[in-house]
């Protein structure tokens, strides 16, 4: 079986390596010529994905993994085409299909009768049948009759993809039964996880949106309860831990915002259809407002932010992963600058040039003279950080409730948590 993976990003490349590890003949497609060249030479172009470098090296040496920028040529030789290119949001928070449409056009130029095409990208309900299918029919082939088409959402997190591929069941739905069954058979061969088949592609698309939106709403609930705790002088972290001792309570942790490719994006893919999804809209409003709330606490504690220097620790949206998509650091920096502060950003996983390219002020090496600091992502490298070395630092905004209040206050600094 020859498999073509369209999109060699942080998820697509590990998927290609996973399929190759099962003895399948895999070719990965991406327009990034430098990335393709790295893979061809058996080198890993991504940082921080456990086991990926070894998997690529082994697969290329065994001639099970190739890479190319010519998607149409690769598709022409493949029995299975897995599409994993991003669908993000436009500036006005509408679905951005540009990358998917480009990929679909390239696939259509090489699509052969009998091929199975599977979309893994998180998309609005109906995209597989209503958008990708017709785009592929530009090949002159008809979906369902000449080629099979299915949807199976990726359910993995960057940094632990191979572990997630083993533990999370694979959800599969097709535009018809034949497509669904063909996709399920492929995944049973390519993965070790259980395969769950659902009625159709739309159900599978909805399942992914539902599971990630659940998390966004749960985080918003935790954030709103944290706001209440602050007003009442309570410790939300302690209360949540006690509440979660009851097995039906799954309160998440509050914080200064929600980042990543999925959680802050996927609710908008549901809301874009115009249905009155009031709870989802409210959750987005709460979570998007947490950075401003945290900066407001800092402003009040310092008696104003104008002229202050504030250090933000962590550009990544979550600890120990080099990925800044949707990071709360962007909102924190905007809020600080809008109130007259000078916001500096440091992250051991990113270079100063990368921070600057993201439109932020880099802080390399770590500055020791700051007025305050914000913990946005507590990487392992920060855990032994001696706060006492930061001269003049009067307050620490613990944006993830990850520090010890007593240890911060022992350094003579004011501790500010979220709901604490």
Bond from prior residue into 292 cis (ω within 30 degrees of 0): no
pLDDT at 103: 98
Are residues 160 and 126 in contact, defined by beta-carbon separation less than 8 angstroms?
A: no
Q: Which of 200, 231, 262 is the last residue of a domain?
A: 200
pLDDT digits over 218-234, tens only?
A: 999 999 999 999 999 99
User: Quick check: is 216 in a domain?
Assistant: no
Residue 319 is predicted with a pLDDT of 94
The whole-number average pLDDT for the span 109-135 is: 98
Whether residue 274 has pLDDT greater than 90: no
* Three-state SS at 26: strand
Q: Does 224 fall in a domain?
A: no
Structure tokens that stand for 364 in this block: 């390399």
13 in any annotated domain: yes
- Is residue 210 in some structural domain? no
DSSP 3-state of 187: helix
192 and 335 belong to one structural domain = no
Mean pLDDT of 391-410: 94
Check residue 366 and give its pLDDT. 93
Measured CA to CA, the distance from residue 63 to residue 56 in angstroms comes to: 10
DSSP code at position 6: E
Q: What is the extent of the structural domain holding 345?
A: 290-416
Mind listing the pLDDT tens digit for each residue in 298-334? 999 999 999 999 999 999 999 999 999 999 999 999 9
How would DSSP label each residue in 99-118? HHHHHHHHHHHH--TT-EEE
Are residues 86 and 193 located together in one domain of the fold? yes
- The continuous run of DSSP H or E covering 296 comes out as helix 290-302
Whether residue 21 lies inside any domain: the answer is: yes
Tokens of 65: 């993994």
Residue 106 pLDDT: 98
Mean predicted confidence (pLDDT) in 333-341: 98
**168 shares its domain with 300:** no
Output the pLDDT for position 47: 86
Residue 62 covered by a domain: yes
Residues 41 and 190 in one domain: yes
Instruction: For the chain, give the mean pLDDT.
Output: 96
Whether pTM exceeds 0.85: yes
Same domain, 24 and 165: yes
Number of helical (H) and strand (E) elements in the chain, helices listed first: 17, 15
What would the mean pLDDT of 277-293 be, rounded to a whole number?
97
| Residue 35 pLDDT greater than 90, yes or no | yes
**Phi and psi torsions of 417, nearest 5°:** -110, 180
Q: How confident is the model at residue 273 (pLDDT cuts 50, 70, 90)?
A: confident
Question: Cβ distance 149 to 108 under 8 Å?
Answer: no
Q: What is the pLDDT of residues 364-378, one digit of tens each?
A: 999 999 999 999 999
**Boundary (domain end) residue, out of 200, 221, 238:** 200
Of the candidates 107, 48, 46, which has an alpha carbon nearest to the alpha carbon of residue 73? Answer: 107
Buried b / exposed e over 215-235, threshold 16 CB at 10 Å, is: bbbebbbbbbbbbebbeeeeb
With a cut of 90, say whether residue 48 has pLDDT above it: no
Q: For residues 192 and 53, state if they share a domain.
A: yes
- For residue 211, what pLDDT band results from cuts at 50, 70 and 90? very high
Residues 342-352: tens digit of each pLDDT: 999 999 999 99
Give a yes or no: residue 354 inside a domain: yes
- Mean per-residue pLDDT, 153-174: 96
CATH number of the domain within which 320 lies: 3.40.50.720
Rounded CA-CA distance 124/297 in Å is 37
With H, G, I as helix, E, B as strand and everything else as coil, classify residue 88: strand
What span, in angstroms and rounded, lies between the C-alpha atoms of 54 and 46? 12
**Chain centroid offset of residue 375 CA:** 20
**Residues near 179 by Cβ (< 8 Å), separated by ≥ 6?**
116, 144, 148, 149, 150, 201
Helix or strand or coil: residue 89? Answer: strand
376 near 355, Cβ under 8 Å? no
Q: Do 294 and 187 share a structural domain?
A: no
More confident call, 275 vs 38: 38
Supply the angle between the helices 52-61 and 12-21 in degrees, to the nearest 10.
50
Residue 89 has pLDDT above 90, yes or no: yes
Tokens of 368: 């020791």
Q: Minimum mean pLDDT among 124-133, 288-297, 378-387: which range?
A: 378-387
Of 184, 200, 216, the last residue of a domain is: 200
Mark whether 21 and 142 lie in a shared domain.
yes
Give dist(CA 251, CA 50) in Å, integer. Answer: 29
Q: Decide if 275 is inside a domain.
A: no
Q: Is the pLDDT of residue 163 over 90?
A: yes
37 and 150 housed in the same domain: yes
CB 397 within 8 A of CB 377: no
Q: CA triplet 130, 92, 285: central angle to 5 degrees?
A: 105
**Number of structural domains in the chain:** 2
Tell whether 11 and 156 lie within a shared domain. Answer: yes
Question: What is the DSSP secondary structure assignment for residue 362, as one 8-state letter?
Answer: B
Question: How many percent of the chain have pLDDT more than 70?
Answer: 100
**Residues with catalytic annotation?**
262
């Amino acid at each position: 079986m020859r498999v073509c993976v369209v999109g060699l990003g942080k998820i697509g490349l590990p998927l290609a390596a996973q399929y190759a590890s099962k003895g399948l003949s895999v070719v990965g497609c991406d327009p990034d010529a430098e990335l393709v060249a790295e893979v061809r030479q058996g080198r890993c172009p991504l940082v921080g994905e456990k086991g990926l470098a070894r998997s690529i090296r082994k697969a290329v040496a065994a001639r099970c993994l190739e890479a190319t920028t010519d998607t149409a040529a690769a598709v022409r030789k493949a029995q299975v085409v897995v599409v994993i290119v991003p669908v993000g949001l436009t500036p006005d928070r509408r679905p951005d299909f540009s990358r998917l449409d480009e990929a679909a056009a390239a696939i259509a130029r090489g699509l052969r009768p009998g091929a199975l095409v599977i979309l893994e990208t998180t998309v609005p309900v109906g995209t597989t049948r209503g958008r990708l299918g017709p785009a592929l029919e530009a090949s002159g082939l008809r979906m369902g009759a000449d080629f099979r088409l299915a949807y199976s959402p990726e359910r993995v997190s960057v940094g632990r993809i191979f572990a997630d591929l083993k533990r999370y069941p694979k959800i599969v739905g097709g535009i018809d039964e034949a497509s669904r069954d063909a996709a399920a058979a492929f995944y049973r061969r390519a993965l070790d996880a259980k395969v769950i088949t659902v009625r159709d592609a739309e159900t599978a698309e909805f399942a992914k949106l539902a599971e990630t939106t659940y998390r966004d709403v749960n985080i918003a609930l935790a954030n709103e309860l944290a706001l209440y705790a602050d007003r009442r002088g309570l410790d939300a972290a302690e209360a949540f831990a006690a509440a979660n001792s009851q097995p039906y309570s799954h309160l998440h942790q509050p914080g200064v915002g929600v980042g990543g490719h999925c959680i802050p994006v996927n609710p908008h893919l549901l809301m874009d259809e115009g249905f009155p999804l009031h709870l989802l809209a409210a959750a987005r409003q709460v979570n998007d407002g947490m950075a401003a709330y945290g900066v407001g606490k800092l402003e009040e504690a310092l008696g104003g932010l104008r002229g202050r220097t504030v250090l933000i620790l962590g550009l990544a949206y979550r600890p120990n992963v080099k990925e800044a998509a949707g990071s709360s650091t962007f909102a924190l920096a905007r809020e600080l600058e809008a109130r007259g502060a000078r916001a500096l950003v440091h992250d051991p996983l990113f270079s100063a040039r990368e921070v600057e390219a993201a439109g932020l002020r880099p802080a390399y090496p770590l500055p020791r003279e700051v007025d305050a600091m914000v913990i946005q992502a507590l990487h392992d490298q920060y855990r032994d950080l001696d706060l006492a070395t930061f001269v003049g630092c009067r307050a620490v905004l613990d944006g993830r409730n990850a520090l010890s209040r007593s240890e911060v206050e022992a350094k003579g600094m004011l501790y500010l948590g979220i709901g604490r």
